[in-house]
Chain A
């Protein structure tokens, strides 16, 4: 039998650089209140959100990704030609094929980097990070770009008072590369497909375009509503706070890190109430910096963790070398948590 030469990777992987892109249009709660019967106070108390960014026509999924990834590449101190793979997590790129990752890899000027999209909702960043770590350690790519990008404003029902205020647009990216020391801990991840109804798209694309259109929800103008993301608020809140706190604790345990060792906590920016309750349930000490980027960014699904990471580092609330617990959770239901050293 012929002997196959094994691939040779790095001993460990780390996040080397981070970058973010937030659309130029800032949308305050007053704009949301034009289409729902609610109040600024109600939106802030239920979600913590004061403003969010909505993308304009030029700020496509690809364009926002290229901006964020370019910054991450510069922050990592490498060149685009050194990127061996581009992993993009998104649920709001409306061209089914080809994967948007290929366009992004080309526009960035990579040298034919492997490129593909993944669908893991709000856990997408953690899923991508886990794949990237594997590629670097296994040796199929020396540097991997992980991008979380969403235009959730396109999937928002502006007449639904439970979700109209919630979502935002943007892109966050990291470069994962070789490390002499462990700097990305074991991932605790999984799925709970039995709870797929708790966060979902209102109607599938085929039914919207081709199927029997009777009985589909209509807007105040009588038009069939474009598909949107809907959720069961209380069920999601309970799962996110209490089940995800257990997953977060498992990720700390797997990395051999105690809450006292932790510098930063970057949960998916779903809702400030979920974040606050998770902090309480996890009994995180006062010295741990907690990301609350949701206040001015909204819920940007797969983009939220790298965007929050970038902002904490930019404002000096967190610093390079800090130990951070990251956890993403959302539609699926899916989740992924790990401990990382910040770039």
Chain B
């Protein structure tokens, strides 16, 4: 059986620094190859979720097939695979890259090579992709394409003499890009007769067809009627349809080695279509799974509660709907004394958490209260047993705890040399343990072991601000370590508020407690009585602030003509109070629960 070259197929992705024009270029390519008529183009097709478009982040990757007749008269099938662009989704990105042979590197000709440009190049190189620089926005007055061309060669070390000069926005040079893709991106190689190995790089839940897998066929062939098996999960399904999206589902007779497309197999649960898993033919299975698979597990947890308790069922339904499409989201019911009934939800990271939160609020019109994010701690008890705790309220009494462990991640920070010092400080400040430092030309890769709980706070912001955006990082869980952890409680008017509790490192507790107390003092409005706010560790108060009693809340003037206006004013005041939670005798605004999230010690 021989490896075969699929001469008429090209699989590629687009990588770019944010705002350098990745999505616009994708749109132009789709338009040019007739996937979309110009008039039906909604801006930026690939980012179909409203939130994605707004935040300029591609959350889920997708693949679209284009038919292109090149200048040599040959017909080509071009598969454009879109990739998400945030550290929470690094793993998904890596799988999408593994499905490609080449990458278009879009560089803004007014900005030049930027932080994310580098980070993306590193990642593409790791997957041995052919990188094809494209210089964009040449129609702008401040464009300096030739300088940027040189920059690409000097800074990144990529030959750029043939880089097309384009304007995705104005539609200039799009043909050149397509020609280059055909010319430069290697044709995929694989044996269509070999046992099936298909890499799942994305999946999507369709209300009518169940979970649909987007795959890159590495070897073999898949067609309808075949019984397939997910090699890592073991689940088996009968294939209903194979095809490609362009942009609608376009059924094909088969997908074979080198192809990119979808497989529909009446899969009811999206958890059976794990990104990175290998699909094989159950009757004639491959010997090996494809490398790089990782079970995606949520690492960050928080409580999500409806601001209005009556919306509990709506929240549940909304979470169920989101989960259909998002295998990395988990949720379980939980109750809080302060917040009532809600869910403990698990996420890949903080961005993932924010996205879910915003989608719940926007797409399902829910008002939410979110508690401080937490990681999973391991609590070893004096009786020798071990418990995993992702909610501070569930921490056993201190007397029953022998010791605790917290998850660590190994973090790789890629940065230009000049920021090494600043970034080492950031890592050190996050209780990081230095592992090593590798020079890669102009760039440095720092390796640290850092507690995950430190990463989920403001590590991303700090890395970006201390390196002026040039550094990037990714991380991988690397086990648990013993750690001196304590439970920090907040007391309002003497009553503990479970929704504000958190597990923190002993050395951090005092500063955190003080800072949260100060912030709560600012966000809790004055009430009829003075409200003491205390931070406590195991019953010992470590910080105290006071919200003074409200002195005056009365309308100075109210006469005949004012009556309806003043009544409306009071009604408005009442509406404002609806955003408050009654905790015992204290009214706490929803944003108070967010203050523990926004730490800047």
Do A and B interact? Answer: no
- Where the two chains meet, the residues of A that have a C-beta atom closer than 8 Å to any C-beta of B are none
Please give the residue numbers on chain B whose beta carbons come within 8 Å of chain A beta carbons, in ascending order: none
